[in-house]
């Protein structure tokens, strides 16, 4: 069973209480259609488990397969540096079909971020290292596609439909 090798730290993007009994980590790619499918499922899971769940999102852009995966990840990181990670994360998944420069600038504007600064940040690859480091950590933890979930550090190998995922989380909570 593959295990999460890179522990969750305060540098991660997380939602939910730090001392929640269950931590769900997703390695995802904003352009991956399966991650797009998983997005509303994770929302439902978060709603269902409430304060007993902490959710962490890490980047695993499949750059060769998805032309916009890297730029979308860097856009979310840019927003994160300005306190708007989750807002951007959500908007990117909700607009997955339109990923690309024009959408990023529009979303930045919508979130009150400086579009010019975002443009510069993407051109400079300001958050490339951050995304790379998420990716490298994922490869060491046995991420073998996207999305890959870890529940309290253990890779979830089954399907990620709501029933399966919530059942797996329930199983960990009951321990």
**Cβ nearer to other proteins, comparing 96 with 146:** 146
| Residue 143 within binding range of other proteins, rule CB under 8 A | yes
| Residue 146 within binding range of other proteins, rule CB under 8 A | yes
Rg of the chain taking only CA atoms, in angstroms: 16
Instruction: Name the residue among 101, 87, 97 with its Cα closest to residue 33.
Output: 97
Report d(CA 57, CA 43) in Å as an integer: 12
Segment contacting other proteins by CB under 8 A, of 47-55, 62-70, 84-92, 120-128: 62-70
Instruction: Name the residue among 43, 42, 56, 50 with its Cα closest to residue 8.
Output: 56
User: What is each CA distance from 133 to 12, 95, 114, 168, in whole angstroms?
Assistant: 12, 25, 25, 28
* Shortest Cβ 60–other proteins spacing (Å): 9
| Residue 144 within binding range of other proteins, rule CB under 8 A | yes
Contact code string over 117-136 relative to other proteins, x by CB under 8 A: ------------------xx
- Characterise 148 by phi-psi region: left (phi > 0), alpha (psi -120 to 50), beta (else): beta
* Shortest Cβ 132–other proteins spacing (Å): 8
**Cβ nearer to other proteins, comparing 115 with 142:** 142
| Residue 170 within binding range of other proteins, rule CB under 8 A | no
Give the contacts of 77 (CB within 8 A, at least 6 positions apart).
59, 85, 127, 130, 131
**Cβ nearer to other proteins, comparing 16 with 137:** 137
> Contacting other proteins (CB under 8 A), which of 17, 40, 51, 65?
65
Residues that bind other proteins (CB under 8 A): 2, 5, 32-34, 62-65, 135-136, 139-146
């Amino acid at each position: 069973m593959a295990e999460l090798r890179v522990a969750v730290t305060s540098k991660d993007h997380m939602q939910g209480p730090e001392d929640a009994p269950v931590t769900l980590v997703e390695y995802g790619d904003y352009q991956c259609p399966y991650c797009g499918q998983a997005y509303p499922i994770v929302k439902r899971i978060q709603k269902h488990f409430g304060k007993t769940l902490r959710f962490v999102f890490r980047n695993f852009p499949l750059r060769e397969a998805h032309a916009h995966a890297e730029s979308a990840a860097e856009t979310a990181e840019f927003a994160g540096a300005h306190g708007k990670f989750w807002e951007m994360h959500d908007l990117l998944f909700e607009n997955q079909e339109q990923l690309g420069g024009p959408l990023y600038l529009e979303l930045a504007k919508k979130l009150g971020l400086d579009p010019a600064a975002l443009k510069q940040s993407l051109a400079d690859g300001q958050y490339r290292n951050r995304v790379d480091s998420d990716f490298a950590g994922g490869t060491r933890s046995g991420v073998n596609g996207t999305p890959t979930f870890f529940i309290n550090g253990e890779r979830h190998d089954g399907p990620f439909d709501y029933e399966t995922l919530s059942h797996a989380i329930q199983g960990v909570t009951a321990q």
